[in-house]
Structure formats: structure tokens, C-alpha cells
Amino acid sequence: MRIVAIIQARMGSTRLPGKVMKDLRGQTVLARVVGRVRNAREVGEVVIATTHQPEDDVIVDECRRLAVRVFRGEVNDVLDRYYQAAKQERAEAIVRITSDCPLIESAVTDATIRAFLERRPDYASNVLRRTYPRGLDTEIMTWDALARSWRQAGQPYQREHVTPYIYENPDRFTLHSVEGETDYSGHRWTVDEPEDLAFLRAVYEGLEDDKHFTWEDVLKLLKGEPGLVEMNRHVSQKALRQG
């Protein structure tokens, strides 16, 4: 099965513009995400899905530097962007990753993909019932599920967030939830606000091996330095229908 990880990325973030190109210990946030996703053994290809906007030319340049494939598509209809990118890549299964998760964990991504391959649902993810920190989000769906969603999803938030139409319709799609043994969902490891970026920079500075550390290493760091958790604890996640 051809499994393609598609990472959505653009410069026009409303809360922290240009966040994917911010520096994170000598590399861009996007580079960190790409590097960690490439460590996933179950992923066959990694593609960045960005937009046709001129401001996203810098993302295309970064993709060239990273030698990663890139697709340019719609700005707000991210579902169409995923569909067209997956079609271009002849993907049989599509892994959805967002570019604001520079602590994304290859082992967690691989576990989610393996559960998908074993159970054979239309869609599997570790976000249906969260037990992992926000920022390790991995979703995987069949080409057929993505195509059906692309044809049928009509609400703007369903187009912008790619997968809601699938998991909001369990009567039309088979779903599988991937969960950990311990609930760490209270941790926030994603970039939406300046405080999030400050937190992630502190994490990267606090870990010696900034290429191969695991999410368990991050938990150990935070246990030893609980003040780091307070840096972005107050930041709230936007509601799904807020866009």
C-alpha cells in the first residue's frame, strides 16, 4: 500500500503569521516536522501541501532545501488541497499531519498507521479520543474515504479542517481510535501563539539530541522542569467551527 504523509503548511496563520518558518534551534519549524515525519518507518512519501499564494513561495523554497515534494493548491479549501495532492501522488492511504507540530513523534505515527493497516477502517487517528499530547496528532484515511469526503463535505469548517466530515459521520465511514495507556492529553505541544513557540524552543534547548529525542524524553524533561509547562498552559485551542 502506498502511504503518503501530507503535511499542510502556509504562511498565513491568523494567530502567529509565518509560524512554520520560525527558527527552532537552528532549523525552521517546518524542517523539524519534516525531519520527524521522515523517521516514521510506515510512511512511504512525504509531501508538503501549501497554497498558490505568493507569500507561500518561501515554503516552496524551504521544501527544495529539504528535498521534500510539494503541492500547491487552494488556500481555504484544505480538503481539496489534500485530495489533489493525494491524487497527484497516487496515494492509497493518506496520513494527515499539520506543520505546527514540531514534536510529532514517528513512533506514535507508526503505531497509528499500523493500527490502520491491521484493522482496515476507513479512518484511524489518535485524536478521536485524545490520550496523547496535542501536537502528536496523526490521522490516516483511505483514498476512498478522502475522495468521498471531498465530494460530499459541504460546510466551510469541514473543508478547512479536512477530516471532520469523516469522523462526524460514523454511519458512513468505519472509524478506529488509537489510544495510549495513560492520558497525557492535557499537554500542549503545538504552535499557535508566541507562548507556544517559546515553550517549544525551551524544550528543544533542554534536550541534548535534538534530532532523535522521543516524546517520552519530552515528558521526562517536563517532569524535571515543571515550569516549562506553565509557559503555554493558558493558550486555548480554537474551536473547530471557528476555522
Q: How high is the mean pLDDT of the chain?
A: 95
Write the pLDDT tens digit of every residue in 145-201.
999 999 999 999 999 999 999 999 999 999 999 999 999 999 999 999 999 999 999
Write the pLDDT tens digit of every residue in 40-75.
999 999 999 999 999 999 999 999 999 999 999 999
- Whether residue 177 lies inside any domain: the answer is yes
* Residue type for position 195: E
Give 238's pLDDT tier (boundaries 50, 70, 90): low
Domain with 86 in it: 3-186
- Whether residue 169 lies inside any domain: the answer is yes
Quote the pTM value. Answer: 0.95
- Whether residue 210 lies inside any domain: the answer is no
- Whether residue 205 lies inside any domain: the answer is no
Residue at grid coordinates 485524545: 130
Task: Give Dmax over CA atoms of the chain in angstroms.
Answer: 49
Rounded to the nearest angstrom, the gap between the alpha carbon of residue 33 and the centroid of all alpha carbons in its chain is 8
Q: Which residues contact 235 (CB under 8 A, 6 or more apart)?
A: 188, 192, 193, 195, 196
Give 242's pLDDT tier (boundaries 50, 70, 90): low
In 3D space, the residue among 37, 58, 39, 59 whose CA is nearest the CA of residue 49 turns out to be: 59
- Whether residue 112 lies inside any domain: the answer is yes
- Whether residue 208 lies inside any domain: the answer is no
CATH number at 168 reads 3.90.550.10
Q: From start to end of 29-112, where are the E strands?
A: 45-51, 69-73, 93-98
User: Could you give the number of structural domains in the chain?
Assistant: 1
- Whether residue 214 lies inside any domain: the answer is no
